[in-house]
Structure 1
Amino acid sequence: MRIRPAVTAAVSLATALSVSVPAAAHAADRAGSAGTTFSHVVVNGGKDLVLGPTTKKTVTIAWTATDPDGIAASWAYLWHGPNTDDADGLLPHYPPNGTCTVSATDPTTATCAVSFGVDAAKDLHRNAVAGTWQVLAGAQDGTDDWTEIDAAGTAHLKRLARATVNASPEPVRKGGTLTVTGRLTRANWESGGYTGYQGQRVELQFRKKGSSTYTTLKTVTTGSGGSLRTTTRARTDGYFRFRFAGTTTTGPATATGDYVDVR
């Protein structure tokens, strides 16, 4: 499924995009100039891509390309799967060239970026593609040789999660037992909705009235359909919430605190 964008004749001049997180690019060159290297590869500003079933988002890949013969053009895109030939996901589907700026002090180096839209409803049809994606980076040098690195960097695409909470009874007497229930769900890219996330560890947290800090009281494991249920003692007025830290395939989720009046 390798796709090489149409290569322009020269690097376009544009405002350079600042990047900060270097990523190793040790895969073998695919063709041409073995002198081309890629560094400072950053996707989405270094943040995870957490997408709901209908999320639309603009994603930017930024990188630096260097070649002793200069950089005439460069490109990058995301792919998922065992290798680029058997990829089961590609973003964007039709990769454009990046916009590159040649360094004012080093003509062998160009800072590049490409932005593209991701529409979860159209672009993500399988939940199995959640997780780590690779960045393919390529470049054409000043002598028309070109190089591609399959794993120049990584990005993490995750399913959006949601958490709910309800503490009862309300109000409750001091020292009484509160039953706290809720549900953890996550985006289902295949159905276009949300489904329960079973078997996940979720923290029950409490914030005293007048305070801005939540404290973890206990950890609860989600049951069938992502259900949450536990009990705790009512000691003072405040807010209860469930907090899920996330996994390698699913983003974090925190329920809006439910206030309980203790009398």
Structure 2
Amino acid sequence: MRRHVLWGTVATAVAMTVLGSSSAQAEGRGDIRVTKAVTNNGKSVIVGISKTVTFPIKLTIKDDSGVKRLEHIDASSTGSTAGGPVEWIGTSCKKLSRTTSECTATMSVNPHSFPWYSDTNANVTAGEWAAWGNVQANDGDYWLFDRVALFKFKRAATLTAVATRPNPFSHSKQVKVTGTLARADWEALKYRGYSGQSLKLQFKKTGAASYTTVKTVRTNSVGKVAATVDATSSGSWRWFYRGTAATMQVASPGAAMSLAKPTLHAAPRLG
């Protein structure tokens, strides 16, 4: 049986733990506050289909009596009631001054937990996430925080590129570049072709430092893409996908292509 987590239920449980059931609507007591918060050093959290991903949530906490501890922390989607299998696995705090401490919580996501974690499709949890929890001060002050350290929780993606010359023996310098864009399906724990996405075909001339965009093409119903272009020199071809709020940005490995004509060798004479 799958476990369904509602943000309101979890937030209320945290409030009752700190305040008691009769005061569950209060936000805290005293002057303790989270003054700064950032997840994964400001980068998106990318999750695939097999590897456990860990990431930090760093909080700057201030109180006139000094900070006692980070009492609880968790993270969840801001746009869905579906939960996510994020675990709080450890915290380290350092004192910055008499009144201020910086606490870093390490969070863990195991993709294998996705299929049973929510009543809904686990893929809908991708998008904007935020941290929530509570902190305590040395003088007994406490504060319940939510929607801090906002970040993007994204599905991993893969992208391939293959470059060929339709007719390497002709004077034509046409190059055909194919590829496939796929992204993690957290329900099936497989990568599936991603349809209807705009990909940039990019080229880097041999000896050049960077790629330039040549053409833009959309993937078909199974995530495949193809384009035929006239090349002016030898070099490397790749596909580039800029990603979305729920799917990571990805570039394929470069596919090298030479425009030199193959050399024909005469067959050896027999006898």
Aligned match of 2:264? none
Q: Decide whether aligned partners of structure 1 residues 31 and 235 sit closer, same or farther in structure 2, where only a CA change above 3 A counts.
A: closer
Q: Describe how 1:101-250 pairs up with structure 2 within 5 A.
A: 101-103=94-96, 106-123=97-114, 126-169=122-165, 172=168, 173=170, 175-250=172-247
Give the one of 52, 74, 78 matched to 1:56. 52
SS of the aligned residue for 2:41 comes to helix
> CA shift at 1:44, angstroms?
1.3
2:124 counterpart SS class: helix
Task: Call closer, same or farther: CA 1:238–1:141 in 2, change over 3 Å.
Answer: same
Aligned to 1:91: 86
CA distance in 2, matches of 1:99, 1:120: 25
Could you report, residue by residue, the CA deviation over 1:47-99 in whole angstroms, capped at 9, with x for unpaired residues? Answer: 1111111121221111111122322111432112458xx5523622xx46743
The alpha-carbon distance between structure 1 residues 191 and 141, as it changes in their structure 2 partners (threshold 3 A), is same
Gaps of 5+ in 2: 1-9, 18-24, 261-271
For the residue of structure 2 that corresponds to 1:128, the secondary structure is helix
What is the number of residues matched between the two proteins? 235
After alignment, is 193-202 or 38-47 more displaced? 38-47
Q: Please, which runs of 5 or more residues in structure 1 have no aligned partner? A: 8-28
Letter of the aligned partner of 2:92 in structure 1? T
Question: What SS does structure 1 have at the residue aligned with 2:188?
Answer: coil
Indicate how the Cα distance of structure 1 residues 174 and 157 shifts in structure 2: closer, same or farther if over 3 A, else same.
farther
Percentage of pairs with the same residue: 28
Q: 2:259 pairs with 229, 242, 262, which one?
A: 262
Cα distance 1:230–1:30, how it changes in 2: closer, same or farther (>3 A)? farther
Deviations 1:6-61 (A, max 9, x none): x9xxxxxxxxxxxxxxxxxxxxx943324222123121122111111112122111
Question: Matched residue of 1:225: which SS?
Answer: coil
Bigger-Rg structure (1/2): 2
8 Å CA contact retained: 2:57, 2:149? no
- In terms of fraction of residues, the more helix-rich structure is 2
Root-mean-square deviation (CA, aligned residues, Å) is 2.5
Change (3 A) 1:174 1:243: farther
CA distance in 1, matches of 2:192, 2:14: 37
Aligned to 2:42: 46
Contact 2:82 2:125 in 1 (8 A): no
- TM-score, scaled relative to structure 1: 0.80
Shift of 1:183: 0.9
Contact 1:175 1:234 in 2 (8 A): no
